[in-house]
Copies of this chain bind each other. A is one copy, B any other.
Amino acid sequence: MTVKTAIQPTRAENYPEWYLSVVKAADLAEHSSVRGCMVIKPWGYSIWENIQRVLDGQFKATGHQNAYFPLFIPLSYFQKEAEHVEGFAKECAVVTHHRLEMNKDGKLVPAGELEEPLIVRPTSEMIIGDSFSKWIESYRDLPLLINQWANIVRWEMRTRVFLRTAEFLWQEGHTAHATSQEAEQEVMKMLRLYSDFCQDYLAMPVICGEKTASERFPGAVATYSIEAMMQDRKALQAGTSHFLGQNFAKSCQIRYKSEQGSLEYAWTTSWGVTTRLIGGLIMTHSDDDGLVLPPRIASAHVVILPIIHDEQTRVQVMSFCDKLKQELSAVQFDGQPLRVILDQRDMRGGDKSWSWIKKGVPLRIEVGLREIEKGQISLLRRDRSHKERMQMSPAELNLRVDSILLEIQNHLLAKATEFQRRHTVRLDKKEELYDFFSSDEKGGFAMCHWNGEAATEQKIKDDLNATIRGIPLDAPHEQGRCILTGEPSSRRVIFAKSY
């Protein structure tokens, strides 16, 4: 029997197309007419606003301050760190002129060529480093803990809304410290903050790991990331935290006078998450009926759907719904007033209900004359079958709505965690690895021993299109042999296909 689903194709039929259909059906975002850029529509942007609100609070609670730095980076700054410029050279939007003028054919063309081209920031280490070099004089100015919310441009040829676009939104933390140890602690602290955030708010379990040299941020000494598993069992890098050593301090001249009076280079870090998190959120929880939003990050927690059969009862139903909305909006969930929508649109009840299923609202409440007369309203959870109703009185709903939302939040996390666990395997034989990533039914995270060589990594990438997503921080040391070469290894790494 084929079940009709709201989203076509289904995940099983065509996962990449399913993703785009979910984004469209939920009205989250769209590709812009400007090549490679996306438009984040109100429903998608409100998820980003919730992410911002929570993370911003956590950054501030851990001593960071927000600031804003220029969008443009002079080419010469960019070149100060050789690996850095090499890493980004292929994807830079370059500003070369500062006005437009009419040419003799009456065509508007760029004019006023700049003496030095400007790069639209693909990341801000060099421009923030320039400020840090002026702000920091003595050890008393350290640590310097700064965050910026900004737009970023990395020219991409193949784009995918939220996951890979020429322009995206992010936050970038940049910090400077007196010692290497302190900087490394910051790197770990922010990685764990991201990991906890993904788990607690996005209900998206992630694995903290160190990147191999080939996947390191250009110019970093060490790069750490959080990796989530999507429902197609591919990995999504959901955030990164970089230990920059003294590399950027040297190229930007970030120096401080120590307590002993000597002039020292600072130790710096940077870390960021982007609107890509929304892509991860979609692919972790959504189903063949559309978006599923974890309540703690949902654009709206509850939608009230009045059922109106005739004009006589309209006023009665509407005033009941208005009152219900007021009461629910006074309830607190996760330290915030409940976000409640009352859908007053004139359209078929079924279409109306489905529009909110596709938008992923955690709770739908249906109220008609029958419900009002019985004193029992119908409650439908997005994480359950769309036919499963709970009946309760408005008074009971007011008392229980926060715990029901928490239940949904926990349920989504448990489901995603179980999915990740089920598709994470320990493999020790090369044939197993090759089978794992060749079969359509298998795939996921393969925990394998690795000899630490880039050549091994490359060979597996070439053969299987799977890469080392990270060297997990929380896995025990364990003696074993490299899955490809048989050489000794003391730790397993995660191989996976990835976004």
A-side interface residues toward B, CB under 8 Å?
A: 30, 32-34, 37-42, 45-46, 48-49, 65-75, 77, 79, 85, 89-101, 108-110, 112, 117-120, 127, 130-131, 134, 146, 150-151, 153, 155, 167, 169
CA of A49 to CA of B68 in the docked complex: distance in angstroms?
A: 11
- A33-B130, A131-B32 given; A66·B39 CB < 8 A: no
- A94-B95, A99-B90 given; A71·B33 CB < 8 A: no
CA of A397 to CA of B108 in the docked complex: distance in angstroms?
A: 64
Residue of B nearest to A275 (CB): B68
Q: Of A72, A91, A119, A169, which is in contact with the most chain B CB atoms at under 10 Å from its CB?
A: A72
Pairs across A and B, CB under 8 Å, 19 listed: A30-B131, A32-B69, A33-B74, A34-B127, A39-B68, A39-B70, A42-B65, A45-B66, A46-B66, A48-B68, A68-B169, A79-B108, A91-B98, A94-B96, A96-B97, A97-B117, A109-B117, A112-B155, A151-B151
A172 → chain B closest CB, angstroms: 14
A146 → chain B closest CB, angstroms: 7
Q: Which of B32, B68, B98 contacts A127 (CB 8 A)?
A: B32
A155 → chain B closest CB, angstroms: 4
CA of A153 to CA of B119 in the docked complex: distance in angstroms?
A: 14
Q: Is the CB of A146 within 8 A of B42?
A: yes
Q: Which residues of B contact A68 (CB under 8 A)?
A: 39-40, 45, 48, 169
Residue of B nearest to A98 (CB): B155
Q: Which residues of B contact A89 (CB under 8 A)?
A: 99-101, 108
New A-B contacts (11) at CB < 8 Å, excluding given A30-B131, A39-B70: A30-B134, A32-B69, A42-B66, A42-B146, A85-B100, A89-B108, A92-B100, A94-B96, A95-B120, A97-B117, A150-B151
Q: Which residues of B contact A85 (CB under 8 A)?
A: 100, 108
A350 → chain B closest CB, angstroms: 18
Q: Which 6 A-B pairs have the closest CB atoms?
A: A37-B70, A42-B65, A40-B68, A94-B97, A89-B100, A94-B110
Q: Of A71, A85, A92, A95, which is in contact with the most chain B CB atoms at under 10 Å from its CB?
A: A95
Q: Of A34, A74, A89, which is in contact with the most chain B CB atoms at under 10 Å from its CB?
A: A34
A35 → chain B closest CB, angstroms: 8
Q: Is the CB of A34 within 8 A of B118?
A: yes
Residue of B nearest to A85 (CB): B108
Q: Which residues of B contact A110 (CB under 8 A)?
A: 94, 96, 117
- A75-B108, A118-B34, A130-B33 given; A67·B39 CB < 8 A: yes
Q: Which residues of B contact A75 (CB under 8 A)?
A: 100, 108
Q: Which of B37, B92, B131 contacts A71 (CB 8 A)?
A: B37
CA of A160 to CA of B108 in the docked complex: distance in angstroms?
A: 29
Q: Is the CB of A92 within 8 A of B99?
A: yes
CA of A65 to CA of B49 in the docked complex: distance in angstroms?
A: 11
Q: Is the CB of B92 within 8 A of A67?
A: no
A96 → chain B closest CB, angstroms: 5
CA of A130 to CA of B98 in the docked complex: distance in angstroms?
A: 24
A251 → chain B closest CB, angstroms: 14
A82 → chain B closest CB, angstroms: 11
Q: Is the CB of B72 within 8 A of A34?
A: yes
A173 → chain B closest CB, angstroms: 13
- A34-B127, A39-B68, A68-B39 given; A100·B94 CB < 8 A: yes
Q: Which residues of B contact A77 (CB under 8 A)?
A: 33
Q: Of A73, A92, A153, which is in contact with the most chain B CB atoms at under 10 Å from its CB?
A: A92
CA of A167 to CA of B151 in the docked complex: distance in angstroms?
A: 13
- A37-B72, A99-B155 given; A67·B94 CB < 8 A: no
CA of A98 to CA of B73 in the docked complex: distance in angstroms?
A: 14
A303 → chain B closest CB, angstroms: 16
Residue of B nearest to A41 (CB): B67
A355 → chain B closest CB, angstroms: 13
Q: Is the CB of A91 within 8 A of B99?
A: yes
A109 → chain B closest CB, angstroms: 8
A416 → chain B closest CB, angstroms: 27
CA of A164 to CA of B79 in the docked complex: distance in angstroms?
A: 29
Q: Is the CB of B155 within 8 A of A71?
A: no
Q: Is the CB of B108 within 8 A of A39?
A: no
Q: Which residues of B contact A146 (CB under 8 A)?
A: 42
Q: Which residues of B contact A79 (CB under 8 A)?
A: 108
Residue of B nearest to A48 (CB): B68
Q: Which residues of B contact A40 (CB under 8 A)?
A: 67-68
CA of A133 to CA of B131 in the docked complex: distance in angstroms?
A: 42
Q: Which residues of B contact A108 (CB under 8 A)?
A: 75, 79, 85, 89
